[in-house]
Each structure stands twice: as structure tokens, then as C-alpha cells.
């Protein structure tokens, strides 16, 4: 029974769907997979330290793995399933591993017990699963992908199932699984975009909190080598990438790394231009989408293809749907069989597999939704964008989120900022012979929003800096932050990508003389990124995680400043 299950897992997980014009193709997972960096952290932000995901000895029953979109969470789960099924890893620790995808579970409307729910996600019957769980529950690992798809309110009293045979809605069964009411002996690996989105009180202890950071610089190099295969091509493209430090950092996000590789491969004779164009996340998406549109097929014009995609994306986001049936797709005028932006999938409904379609990644659905607002008539565009910004402001005033908590509208706002830059969007709009006259008005609306938010809500400062970075307009950035004399990001964990954003904004705003980066997880690598901006600040509060590694950089700061100002810099090694 287990051997048959393993065979089905290998069959399902061995390949990944990848865009390779003029169509998509199946690529072996192992030929692309590159190990991401995973750090372990405590609930207190200032106590991070590196650990392996699974270690010998006192291993917690539940591991929370958080990470931003595109950092490889779901890809890693697929690799775990494949490694277990093929006997490469975990087979001694676990008799069986199950994978529950919350985006799929949200489509279930009927009540199920745990056995039926696990059976719904694999080819084992509920009776077989019941037998396995009764025999060795302590050797069962359940992977839960995307728990933030559900909203768990710990203040609402719900009658959750207390045994695996009791039927309930998927969300309530998951709640009981998370808090140990059912199957307390089993192991859980829970994936979420943000640890703050998971109601920690619902989880059974002891817990281990981890975060997926994406690729290290060596990981980016390894991925490029796997993608290009030809050693000469690899050397040429990777050397070009190394010359663009901010883009090299952006490639730490595995999804962006793949997109950059794809664009370089398709524009190999003009890779220097490509490198110059790729400054922001939006610019990477624009070039990628533009490249695909060149090979979109001949059933539709490029413009009508794009209009269909944005219509489909916005409708899906409005209804919070990732999976789109064929009727929904063809209604927009798209041919799902020829669209390289949509991948075919299947969902289990009434004991049978039903074909569905989805965007190649959720971020593309978000990108095309943002694009839909730009392509609208000016009046409709203004109205929708104002509503969008109002929802962001209203939600954050009500919930006062921590810096870690992500808002599902944020990616759309970021893409909107990037698309309002004429240089970035021009390559896409030229292809469809489309003129967007109201980008200046869009900027003004975004400007008013940033002013409101940076003035009254300190929790959103890092997000607002990312918005300004996507705009890539130095004058606009300077005007938007004109009232800011102090940049206080203390107690916010800064990634390398955040440091490039911060550097850009500080260089646009020489009037910001005071900077507080206490307890921001600064390392020598991050300090090196920020060094040009730190040299000209009057008062810097810094805490450096590994002081010995950062010594030369700190000395460099001292030499580039007036010596009498050294006492304004507080270096804390914790």
C-alpha cells in the first residue's frame, strides 16, 4: 500500500511545469532544484540564529516555515515529497508523508473527517489512511502548504473535531490538527507567507519557527549553472549578473532568478541592455511578460491577449480564486490550450478530477490585476486605485499590523507603482501599441497615499519605501519623503533586498540626516550595501549581528566621516 502511494508521489512530483517558448514543458525537479537558505528564529526578532530544519535530538513536533511570495516554499515541499517517496531522505523518520494544499482545500464545501481530507489529496483511500494513522501516528509527517489561505480567529468559539473520524469543514479539521486535538503524535510542517498570519495560540508545542530566505549568492550561481548547462553561456550570463549587484540580490528570490535566467536566454545577444533595464521587481515582470507576448500564438492579437489576461486576473483576485475553470477562461477570449501564462491543473470534485487552469504563479495574477487598472479608462482607473489604496489604509488603521504581517493587496500596489514608471512600462506598451496618458495622475494618487501613510503609520514605512523604489523616480521619492527627517526602521528584520531599497531612498533624500537601524539583523553583507548612504548621515544608530565580520566596513565608515562624529554611531553586537 505504501509502495504504491510512493510510486504515485514520484509520478506527481518528479517533474515541474516550466515555460519554454513556444509552449510549456515538463522539466525534472532535480535538474532545477537549488537548496534555499533557511534560518531558524525565535518568536523574539532579535534572537535569530542558523540551524538545520530537522536536527537530531529534541525535535519539535511542529515547524512553522514562513517566507515571502516566490521564495520557493511550495517548490521545497514538492522536493520533500519526492525525496521521501524515492527513499533519498526522511524514509527512516517517517513511514508516510502527506501534503495538504490549502488553496485546494478552500474549494471543498462539504464536511469531511481527517481520513477523507487526506484521501482527497492523494490516491490512498480513507480506510487505508485510517489504518496507517492508527498503527504508527508518531511516524507520520503532514505538510500544510499555505495556512494563511484560511483566516483563523482565536476569539471565535468553534466546535472543532476532537477525533480524526469526526466530520467538519476543512478549516475546522485543520484547526484541530494544528492545536493537537487530533493526531497529537504526528509531525507538522506548516507553510505560510508570514508567521504573523498564523494564530500561534492555535498551534501545538513545542514549536520551531523558521524562515526561508531564498538563495545565497552561491545558490544563485548554482541555479544559473543548472539553467544554462552550457559552461560558456553560464559564464557569460553570470559574469554580467555579478556586475549588477542589486539584480544579483534580487535573484536571491528563486522565482525572480528563474525569470531573469529566462529573459537572458531569450535576449542573449542583447544581454547588456537587459541588465540595464532590470532595476526593480516590476521591470523583471514587464520584460518577462513582453518576451512571452512575442510568442503568444496567432489566434489573438497581442493586445487582445493582454486584455483577456488582465480581465481574467482581476476577476480571479476579486473572487479570491486561484483555480479557474475552462468556461471562465474562454469567456475572456483566451484559448487555455495555447496561453503560456496559464498552466493546466486538476481539482478533485465529487470523486473525479476536473480540469482547471491557474496562472503560472500567484504573483502573475497580481501583476496582471495591477496592469488591468493601468489599461482602464482614466476615470475608472482612478476610482479603482483610490478604492484599493483606501482598503489598504483602512485595514492597517483597524489592525495596526506588525512589520512582518503582509497585506494581500500590497503586491498589487507595488506592481502599480512599478507600472507607473514610463521607462519600465514602455517596452510592454510599445508591443501592444498602447498609450497610457494617466500615469502622471496615478503617481500623484500614489504620492498622496504615501504621504498619508508615512506620516501617520510607522508600521508601513518599509512597504512604502518598496513602493517608492518600484517607481524609480528620484524627484518623486524626494518629494514624497520631504517631511521625513528621521528614518526609523528599528526592530524590523531587514533583508538584503530591503537594504538596496533603503539605499536608493536615502540617496534620493539627502535631507534625511538621522537613521535608526537598531536590531534590524544587519550583517557585514547588508552593511556593505548600505555603506554609501551611511557615510553621509549625521546620526546613525546601528546594531550589527556579527561585529567581527563587519569590522573593516565600520572602519571604512569612520574614515569617510569626520572623526568627531564617530560617537554618533552606536554599534551593538548581540
What are the domain boundaries of the chain? 1-46+55-214, 217-278, 279-483, 486-573
Residue 385 to residue 390: CA distance in whole angstroms: 8
Question: Which cell is 53 given?
Answer: 530544519
Q: Which long-range contacts (CB under 8 A, 24 or more apart) does 272-279 make?
A: 272/240, 275/240, 275/241, 275/243, 275/244, 275/247, 277/427, 278/244, 278/247, 278/250, 279/246, 279/247, 279/424, 279/472
Segment 515-536 mean pLDDT: 86
The pLDDT, as a whole number, for residue 439 is: 62
C-beta separation of 367 from 360 below 8 A: no
The pLDDT, as a whole number, for residue 509 is: 92
Give buried/exposed letters for 384-401 (b at 16+ CB in 10 A, else e).
Answer: ebeebbeebbeebeeeeb
Segment 52-66 mean pLDDT: 66
Segment 255-265 mean pLDDT: 94
pLDDT band of residue 383 (cuts 50, 70, 90) is confident
Residue 331 to residue 325: CA distance in whole angstroms: 10
Segment 483-490 mean pLDDT: 87
Is pLDDT of 146 > 70?
yes
Is pLDDT of 522 > 90?
no
Question: Which cell is 64 given?
Answer: 512553522
The pLDDT, as a whole number, for residue 549 is: 53
Which of 15-29, 48-62, 443-457 shows the highest mean pLDDT?
Answer: 15-29
pLDDT band of residue 517 (cuts 50, 70, 90) is confident
pLDDT band of residue 397 (cuts 50, 70, 90) is very low
Higher pLDDT, 379 or 142: 142
C-beta separation of 287 from 325 below 8 A: no
User: DSSP 3-state assignment of 478?
Assistant: helix
Segment 53-58 mean pLDDT: 43
Pick from 306-315, 354-363, 454-463: least confident: 454-463
Pick from 53-57, 318-322, 334-338: least confident: 53-57
Is pLDDT of 541 > 90?
no
The pLDDT, as a whole number, for residue 403 is: 41
Is pLDDT of 441 > 60?
yes
Q: What is the mean pLDDT of the chain?
A: 82
The pLDDT, as a whole number, for residue 559 is: 41
Segment 537-554 mean pLDDT: 61
The pLDDT, as a whole number, for residue 314 is: 92
pLDDT band of residue 563 (cuts 50, 70, 90) is very low
Pick from 247-261, 292-306, 312-326, 365-379: least confident: 292-306
Residue 162 to residue 168: CA distance in whole angstroms: 10
Higher pLDDT, 401 or 549: 549
What tens digit of pLDDT does each residue of 87-114 get?
Answer: 988 888 999 999 999 999 998 989 999 9
For residue 200, CA distances in Å to 93, 143, 179, 197 come to 26, 17, 9, 9
Determine if the peptide bond prior to 206 is cis (ω within 30°): yes
Segment 543-552 mean pLDDT: 57
The pLDDT, as a whole number, for residue 545 is: 61
The pLDDT, as a whole number, for residue 406 is: 57
What tens digit of pLDDT does each residue of 455-469 get?
Answer: 545 557 888 899 899
Percent of the chain's residues with pLDDT above 70: 78
Segment 399-415 mean pLDDT: 66
Q: How many CB atoms lie within 10 A of CB 545?
A: 20
The pLDDT, as a whole number, for residue 570 is: 45
The pLDDT, as a whole number, for residue 540 is: 66
Is pLDDT of 8 > 60?
yes
Segment 148-159 mean pLDDT: 67
The strand pairing partners of 517, in sequence order, are 542
Which of 19-23, 204-208, 397-401 shows the highest mean pLDDT?
Answer: 204-208
Determine if the peptide bond prior to 252 is cis (ω within 30°): no
Cβ contacts of residue 322 below 8 Å, gap of 6+?
Answer: 103, 316, 358, 359, 362, 365
Is pLDDT of 53 > 50?
no
Q: Give me the phi and psi of 26, to 5 degrees please.
A: -90, 125
| Record: fold of 1-46+55-214 | Rossmann fold (3.40.50)
Which of 53-62, 106-115, 197-206, 287-296 shows the highest mean pLDDT?
Answer: 106-115
Pick from 137-151, 402-416, 534-548: least confident: 534-548
* Helix segments in 509-574, DSSP class H: 524-534, 547-560
Cβ contacts of residue 167 below 8 Å, gap of 6+?
Answer: 111, 112, 113, 116, 161
Cβ contacts of residue 560 below 8 Å, gap of 6+?
Answer: 535
Segment 252-274 mean pLDDT: 89
pLDDT band of residue 385 (cuts 50, 70, 90) is confident
Is pLDDT of 45 > 50?
no
Amino acid at each position: 500500500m505504501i509502495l504504491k502511494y510512493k510510486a504515485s508521489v514520484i509520478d506527481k512530483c518528479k517533474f515541474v511545469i516550466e515555460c519554454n517558448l513556444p509552449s510549456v514543458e515538463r522539466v525534472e525537479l532535480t535538474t532545477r532544484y537549488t537548496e534555499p537558505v533557511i534560518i531558524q528564529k525565535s518568536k523574539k526578532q532579535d534572537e535569530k540564529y542558523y540551524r538545520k530544519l530537522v536536527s537530531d535530538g529534541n525535535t519539535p513536533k511542529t515547524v512553522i516555515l514562513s517566507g515571502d511570495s516566490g521564495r520557493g516554499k511550495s517548490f521545497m515541499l514538492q522536493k520533500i515529497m519526492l525525496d521521501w517517496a524515492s527513499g533519498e531522505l526522511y524514509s527512516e523518520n517517517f513511514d508516510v508523508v502527506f501534503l495538504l494544499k490549502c488553496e485546494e482545500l478552500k474549494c471543498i464545501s462539504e464536511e469531511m473527517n481527517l481520513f477523507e481530507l487526506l484521501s482527497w489529496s492523494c490516491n490512498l483511500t480513507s480506510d487505508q489512511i485510517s489504518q496507517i494513522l492508527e498503527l504508527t501516528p508518531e511516524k507520520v509527517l503532514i505538510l500544510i502548504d499555505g495556512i494563511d489561505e484560511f483566516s483563523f480567529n482565536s476569539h471565535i468559539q468553534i466546535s472543532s473535531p476532537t477525533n480524526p473520524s469526526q466530520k467538519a469543514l476543512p478549516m475546522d479539521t485543520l484547526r484541530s490538527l494544528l492545536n493537537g486535538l487530533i493526531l497529537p503524535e504526528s509531525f507538522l510542517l506548516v507553510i505560510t507567507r508570514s508567521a504573523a498570519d498564523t494564530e500561534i495560540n492555535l498551534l501545538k508545542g513545542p514549536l520551531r519557527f523558521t524562515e526561508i530566505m531564498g538563495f545565497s549568492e552561491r545558490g544563485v550561481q548554482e541555479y544559473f549553472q543548472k539553467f544554462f548547462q552550457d559552461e560558456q553561456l553560464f559564464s557569460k550570463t553570470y559574469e554580467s549578473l555579478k556586475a549588477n549587484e542589486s539584480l544579483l540580490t534580487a535573484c536571491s528570490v528563486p522565482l525572480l532568478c528563474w525569470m531573469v535566467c529566462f529573459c537572458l536566454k531569450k535576449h542573449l545577444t542583447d544581454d547588456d541592455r537587459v541588465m540595464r533595464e532590470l532595476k526593480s521587481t516590476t521591470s523583471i515582470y514587464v520584460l518577462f511578460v513582453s518576451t512571452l507576448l512575442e510568442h503568444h500564438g496567432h489566434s489573438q492579437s497581442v493586445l487582445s491577449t493582454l486584455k483577456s489576461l488582465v480581465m481574467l486576473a482581476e476577476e480571479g483576485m476579486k473572487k479570491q480564486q486561484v483555480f479557474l475553470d475552462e468556461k471562465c477562461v474562454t469567456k475572456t477570449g483566451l484559448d487555455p490550450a495555447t496561453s503560456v501564462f496559464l498552466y493546466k491543473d486538476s481539482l478533485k470534485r465529487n470523486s473525479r478530477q476536473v480540469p482547471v487552469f491557474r496562472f503560472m504563479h500567484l504573483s502573475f495574477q497580481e501583476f496582471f490585476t495591477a496592469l488591468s487598472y493601468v489599461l482602464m479608462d482614466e476615470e475608472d482607473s482612478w476610482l479603482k486605485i483610490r478604492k484599493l489604496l483606501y482598503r489598504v489604509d483602512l485595514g492597517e488603521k483597524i489592525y495596526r499590523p506588525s512589520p512582518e504581517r503582509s497585506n494581500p493587496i500590497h503586491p498589487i500596489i507595488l506592481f502599480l507603482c512599478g507600472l507607473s514608471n514610463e521607462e519600465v512600462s514602455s517596452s510592454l506598451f510599445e508591443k501592444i501599441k498602447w498609450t497610457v496618458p494617466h500615469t502622471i495622475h496615478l503617481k500623484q494618487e500614489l504620492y498622496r497615499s504615501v504621504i498619508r501613510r508615512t506620516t501617520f503609520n510607522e508600521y508601513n514605512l518599509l512597504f512604502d519605501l518598496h513602493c517608492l523604489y518600484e517607481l524609480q523616480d528620484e524627484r518623486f521619492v524626494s518629494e514624497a519623503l520631504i517631511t521625513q527627517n528621521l528614518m526609523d526602521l528599528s526592530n524590523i528584520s531587514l533583508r538584503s533586498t530591503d537594504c538596496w531599497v533603503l539605499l536608493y531612498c536615502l540617496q534620493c533624500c539627502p535631507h534625511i540626516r538621522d537613521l535608526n537601524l537598531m536590531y534590524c539583523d544587519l550583517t557585514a553583507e547588508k552593511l556593505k550595501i548600505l555603506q554609501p548612504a551611511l557615510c553621509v548621515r549625521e546620526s546613525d544608530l546601528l546594531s550589527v549581528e556579527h561585529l567581527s565580520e563587519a569590522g573593516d566596513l565600520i572602519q571604512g565608515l569612520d574614515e569617510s566621516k569626520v572623526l568627531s562624529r564617530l560617537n554618533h554611531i552606536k554599534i551593538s553586537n548581540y
